Structure 1
Amino acid sequence: MIDAEKLTEEFGCLVFNDKVMKDRLPKDIYKAVHKTIEKGTHLELDVANCVAAVMKEWAVENGATHFTHWFQPMTGLTAEKHDSFISPTEDGKVIMEFSGKELVKGEPDASSFPSGGLRATFEARGYTAWDPSSPAFIKDGSLYIPTAFCSYGGEALDKKTPLLRSMEALSREAVKMLKLLGYADVNRVSTTIGSEQEYFLIDKEDYKLRKDLLFTGRTLLGAPATKGQEMEDHYFGVIKPKVSAYMHDLDEELWKLGIPAKTKHNEVAPSQHELAPVFETANIAVDHNQLTMEVMKKVADKHNFACLLHEKPFEGINGSGKHNNWSVCTDTGMNLLDPGKNPGENTPFLVFLMAVIAAVDEYAPLLRLSVASAGNDHRLGGNEAPPAIISIFVGDELSEVLKGVEEGNAYHSKGKVQMGMGAEVLPHFTKDNTDRNRTSPFAFTGNKFEFRMPGSAVSVANANIVLNTAVAEEIAKIYAKLEGVEKDKLNEKIAEVLKETLVAHKRVLFNGNGYTDEWVEEAAKRGLPNLKSLPDALPYFKEKESVDLFTKHGIFTKEEIDSRYEILLENYSKSIHIESLTLQEMAKKDLMEGLIAYQSDLLEEATGKKALLGEKSATFEIETLKAIDEAQGKMSEAIKKLAADTTVAEGKTEVLDQASYYQKTILADMDEVRKYADAAEALVPDSYLGYPTYGQMLFSLR
């Protein structure tokens, strides 16, 4: 256990961070590494050799015997191959070695990872390349080196490479804009994110008995418990001792790895919780979130829990998201999304705010696509998550600021409003300049935007790639209209361009309740897309506007876009295919066996009662038998249809056609099976079922 007084010393103790580099590397080498990180300059081999030697020495001191290039392929997970530091000597001994070449480059087999046609099976060579901007760390006796992953031809096969490209694109366009506005000292702009991670904890033994959770991550059948979340007593409620112990150990493990875990609490649904970190540079934040999910599962196992990261593990209660808090900061310490005391007069803020508004409106289908998955599509649009329609909440003060921009009137801040609680003993404090709107997919929350649509299981790299690139494009458009304008006319031109941009894109602004049917109707009138599933959204990825956006800014090549299109559709279809097979097996075996056994016992009981008490007895048993038999018969027919339609789906060869069929037909078939399975389950005592019920999983922690 980490002593509170030693926390500052223990934090990041397993990370080859800036402090370690500064203490251990020669000054010239340290400066060279920083130059690479800050300016993107090439790292010379002699510098890499020195860093590798020092990194190995530090890793061995901390118990590491192996190293691995840690990367993020298109599986959505992370990948690693471990090599030891040992090198045999002529006398039969070994020495510990690690070269600069081993540090900067690895050669995993690229043919066994999803490539969407970029690589054939026989074209196996791929490369991992060290990302010096994300610090190496030690886990389970290995030195983990964050890396990018590409094919032999240089095509990106991962999520890190396009994320880094998008960060550079936004920085490039933002720096140009800021210099035009008079901020000559700004040389780099970084996007920062904080990813709030929601998750469920259930008993590990219960988890092992649920084939659907094991194979798919979500429950495919299960009657609701008699209590759900309707009492609203779990949100921010007292944390159970077993869960608190888990959270404590999780914090310790994350802190050792330099992950700034900050907030922990119970979420809305029973057995649901949340962890939120401090903001970090986007690249490091994405790496840390991937690592957080791995550590969550590992620590849960030690506490006899299963950590569920699926977006909708339980029907009828809230699913889990990963709110992406996004902001833009300069290397001079300025947050470009901070309105300041007078937002109506804060030109950089207004320019970047308008660029974000235009980006979200113009590229809404791509933002929707960036969070689309077989799991997240179940969550979006429910009462716990934003709708699939993308809109922006800006709050009352910014609405007034934008009204002033459109009307050409200067907005003057009313200043901070004192909040009084009506009891003298309570302190007075100032209200924030905006309320919170949890129904909004993209909400301004003071000095950042909270993108609430990402699902809990996925990497947030995709969302930030699209967001960074779209905002970079809109900044470039604004810059093109301002470039060359005489200095004494620049402010007037800026006001004109901001008004023009706002008028063109204000349809995306909405401060109301995003859960209502009225908003769906209003959004349709405004022309806002409502893309409810991945097959609905993905075709936008290959449209000319999207291809032009990504290729212009060097994020993806046309071939990389095509490959991701194939990968996403294949993954979607495979996920639902596995769900279909799992549901059929559970319904025909685990549930049906219990139904038959219970009916047999009921029949025996009814027969005995009638023999002893007469024909008018055994009413309960007979009515229950009839109800189970009816549900069982309808479930059997639904299973037959699901099986037949799944066979049809398997035979489809065009990826979009297949994915659409899974979405429209197979999911509907699965819902039909579940309807009758859940009806039958509700009639059967728990002891007859081959799996734990919702009530057991959500409310009883062994």
Structure 2
Amino acid sequence: MTNPRFKAILRHGDIIAATKELPPGQLPSESFGKRVFNRSVMQKMLPKEVFQNVIAAQEGREKIKKEFADTIAVAMKEWALSHGATHFSHWFQPLTGLGAEKHDSFIEWAEPGVVIEKFSAKQLIQGEPDASSFPSGGLRTTFEARGYTGWDPTSPVFLWKAGDGITLSIPSVFFSWTGAVLDSKIPLLRSDRKINDAVLRVLKLTGIEAGFVFSTLGMEQEYFVIDRNFRNLRPDLVLLGRTVLGAPSPKGQELQDHYFGAVKDRILRFMRDFEQAAFELGIPVKTRHNEVAPAQHEVAPVFEKASLAIDHNILLMEIMRQVATKHGLCCLLHEKPFHNINGSGKHCNWSLSTDTGINLLDPTDTPENNLHFLIILTAILHAIHRHGKLLRAAIGSVSNDFRLGGHEAPPAILSAYVGRELEALLKNIEEKGWHKSSKGSDSYDLGLHVIPELKQDNTDRNRTSPFAFTGNKFEFRAVGSSFNGSLPITVLNACVADSINEIMDEIERGSSNKRKLNPKELLESVMPVLRKYIKASKAVRFEGDNYSLAWAKEAKKRGLPNIAKSLYAFDALTEKATQKAFTDILRKEELNSRYEILTEIYGHTLNIEAKTIVDLFDTEVLPAVFATIRDLAEAIEEQKDLLGKKAASRQMARLKEIHDLVEKGINLVDRIKILREDADSLAGFERSKELLEEVFPLCLELRGISDSLEALVDDRHWRLPKYREILYMV
């Protein structure tokens, strides 16, 4: 039988030869929001007062009025039907980390045997999917299955195209019949409300006019794209999205020739296709390029309100997977699909904005009054210092553990980089207790008179830092590529709001008189408080190379947590400091449920990895090795007959090398099976710990043996696509 791997290689050549050019696409401005029930659509279809109510609800200023709900539902239905929709769905984010949906058709009985399309206010506002199989972390039992979805008007309704059908999708929150929070969206929206209340205190103190404040987000999404034929021949990629075994390609990323290189035609067609679908859903994707690793790429959008940006990112990941299939490709969003080359992250560029258009983390937005920036910056650093373990938990997973600390991602130590200029400012406040304005940024002189003037930023971009200030935002680089960004951003909002409130309480106690202070008096009253908090959080500021071993040692001296395995960070969700920061966001039992769910998922993932590598070793590696041993043994016997035993001694050594590796591998498989069974007798944290500490190291050892055997086995017998094919034949 012909090796299926060779067949896939041949098919790849046929696919490339047969690839047709896509017809010219629409301009983004022409297609943007085409499948969204957006402002322009609503303005045409809704009465003025109803339209104004929906816009106010989108901005979080008021609720949808009951008397308007039917009018809105009818307009949505008519708009959806005009685009060919047949079903509607409440689209929500359960605690699986993914999106979820249940489709209902618009039909209702008009009379016996006759149906009509109908969509009511009740169907729009609230749904009732079966909640029994979603993780709840003990918030409800299996026999108490009822859960409700509720329309979230802050995120626009859209039309989802899949399987040649169109569904009206209604972004929603999800909760149990007792009111317990069962999703990622409710805490995120509550955290935004909390940071709004906290920051408005700062703005009132410093004289900045604003009606409300919200967190903003730009999510850089890294991903791999490989040929689908190769993916389908790799059970580990099918089940896990990552290779549990695979010898390195002779060429990796050491030449750095892929990074920002010319994008291959086939990949560019895929990019263009998914960008078009994204534009139609109102997702403002802007940047695309090759990343460091072969077959790795990145897409980045324009900034949006954080909750909408996260909704859009979840949709974008699904669009990318969907479109890749149409192109005979597979989009891998796992944090570490391939061993010994860079993994993928989701860099979350986070800031705070006002309804009046001020970016509160951009000092140039209000150059005449930057005290609010200094207060918020101090609170952010304090929050990162105090809640480092909690932030580590928020980015925790088995898949991200593979990535963190490698030379493509920040380490598990949560530190912050603020840049040379701000670092000098903070040191000045620490040492002298006063603030001195610095000069504006300079221009670069490259000695080339034909080059236009290039402005110098007020900070560099430290790509090794997990939380780096980049001039007008913080880049949270430690978030994993496959993540729903809700939990990391919820934690960030909650912790920063908590620190702002603490700082503001102290400032207000120190200036208890009712008289409004002039700028100089205000600065004098605020600066001692800021100095105290800047000093207290000094340990979290680091300007150097976060990849270096020296930093790990220095971080330990500073008392910063360095939690390599996420399992040991998750209990931060149950700590009192977390409960305080999450006041009005999640209750104690709801935080405990997140701990239980994350711990359980961690163990399940390790268990699936262990079962997968054992299966591959038994059914793929061993047959290939045994065939090679048989061929090699026959060849050695022929050598002996022709040249004598001594001449075949080197070949015998190779045969023994393969034999010894096989014996070690079989012994490891037996041990893994026994230890897995032992772990299955446990539950919760103890089961996950057993899998992590006892089973997983043996899996890594088994991988090493398998990869060594791959390098020795006759290529004709190796059926699994190799790294050199997967990464370079795209």
**TM-score, with normalisation over the residues of structure 2?**
0.93
Q: 1:360 aligns with which of 377, 384, 388?
A: 384
Decide whether aligned partners of structure 1 residues 619 and 270 sit closer, same or farther in structure 2, where only a CA change above 3 A counts.
Answer: farther
SS of 1:194's equivalent in the other structure is strand
Deviates more, 1:528-537 or 1:334-343: 334-343
Are the equivalent residues in 2 in contact too, given 1:342–1:412 (CA < 8 A)? no
Are the equivalent residues in 2 in contact too, given 1:344–1:411 (CA < 8 A)? no
Match in the other structure for 1:382: 406
Match in the other structure for 1:694: 723
Letter in 2 for 1:223: A
Q: Distance in 2 between matches of 1:182 and 1:119?
A: 47
Unaligned runs of 5+ in 2: 1-21
Q: How far off its partner does 1:642 sit?
A: 1.4
CA deviations on 1:494-553 (whole Å, 9 max, x unpaired) are 111111110111111000000111100110111111111122101221111112221x2x
CA deviations on 1:96-125 (whole Å, 9 max, x unpaired) are 111111001000011111011111111111
SS of 2:439's equivalent in the other structure is coil
Q: How far off its partner does 1:6 sit?
A: 4.1
Pair 1:170 & 2:200 matched: no
Unaligned runs of 5+ in 1: none
Deviates more, 1:172-181 or 1:593-602: 172-181
Q: Distance in 1 between matches of 2:572 and 2:167?
A: 42
Pair 1:84 & 2:105 matched: yes
- The total of aligned residue pairs comes to 697
Match in the other structure for 1:325: 349
Letter in 2 for 1:608: E
SS of 1:222's equivalent in the other structure is coil
SS of 1:158's equivalent in the other structure is coil
Q: 2:57 aligns with which of 22, 29, 36?
A: 36
The 5 A counterparts of 1:272-291 are 272-291=296-315
Match in the other structure for 2:81: 60
Match in the other structure for 2:320: 296
SS of 2:100's equivalent in the other structure is coil
Are the equivalent residues in 2 in contact too, given 1:400–1:411 (CA < 8 A)? no
The 5 A counterparts of 1:14-163 are 14-90=35-111, 92-140=113-161, 141-163=166-188
Q: CA RMSD in A?
A: 1.6
Are the equivalent residues in 1 in contact too, given 2:89–2:104 (CA < 8 A)? yes
Decide whether aligned partners of structure 1 residues 342 and 374 sit closer, same or farther in structure 2, where only a CA change above 3 A counts.
Answer: same
Match in the other structure for 1:472: 497
Decide whether aligned partners of structure 1 residues 345 and 95 sit closer, same or farther in structure 2, where only a CA change above 3 A counts.
Answer: closer
Q: 1:510 aligns with which of 509, 520, 542?
A: 542
Q: Distance in 1 between matches of 2:297 and 2:616?
A: 28
Are the equivalent residues in 2 in contact too, given 1:126–1:149 (CA < 8 A)? yes
Pair 1:592 & 2:622 matched: yes
Match in the other structure for 1:556: 586
Match in the other structure for 2:17: none
Q: How far off its partner does 1:347 sit?
A: 0.3
Decide whether aligned partners of structure 1 residues 685 and 40 sit closer, same or farther in structure 2, where only a CA change above 3 A counts.
Answer: farther
CA deviations on 1:374-399 (whole Å, 9 max, x unpaired) are 10011101111100001110111111
Q: How far off its partner does 1:652 sit?
A: 1.3
Letter in 2 for 1:639: V
Pair 1:612 & 2:636 matched: no
The 5 A counterparts of 1:490-501 are 490-501=522-533
Are the equivalent residues in 1 in contact too, given 2:126–2:149 (CA < 8 A)? yes
Q: How far off its partner does 1:663 sit?
A: 1.8
Q: Distance in 2 between matches of 1:239 and 1:39?
A: 41
Letter in 2 for 1:699: Y
Deviates more, 1:329-338 or 1:489-498: 489-498
**TM-score, with normalisation over the residues of structure 1?**
0.97
Q: How far off its partner does 1:5 sit?
A: 6.3
Q: How far off its partner does 1:43 sit?
A: 2.0
Q: How far off its partner does 1:619 sit?
A: 4.9
Match in the other structure for 1:662: 691
Q: Distance in 1 between matches of 2:448 and 2:406?
A: 38
Are the equivalent residues in 2 in contact too, given 1:344–1:401 (CA < 8 A)? no
Match in the other structure for 1:448: 473
Decide whether aligned partners of structure 1 residues 689 and 304 sit closer, same or farther in structure 2, where only a CA change above 3 A counts.
Answer: same
Decide whether aligned partners of structure 1 residues 469 and 181 sit closer, same or farther in structure 2, where only a CA change above 3 A counts.
Answer: same
Match in the other structure for 2:339: 315
Q: Distance in 2 between matches of 1:16 and 1:646?
A: 50
Are the equivalent residues in 2 in contact too, given 1:343–1:413 (CA < 8 A)? no
SS of 1:660's equivalent in the other structure is helix
Match in the other structure for 1:533: 565
Q: Distance in 2 between matches of 1:619 and 1:88?
A: 84
Are the equivalent residues in 2 in contact too, given 1:201–1:271 (CA < 8 A)? yes
Pair 1:601 & 2:631 matched: yes
SS of 2:111's equivalent in the other structure is coil
Q: 1:306 aligns with which of 322, 325, 330?
A: 330
Q: 1:396 aligns with which of 401, 410, 420?
A: 420
CA deviations on 1:66-115 (whole Å, 9 max, x unpaired) are 10000111111111100111122216332111111100100001111101
Letter in 2 for 1:75: T
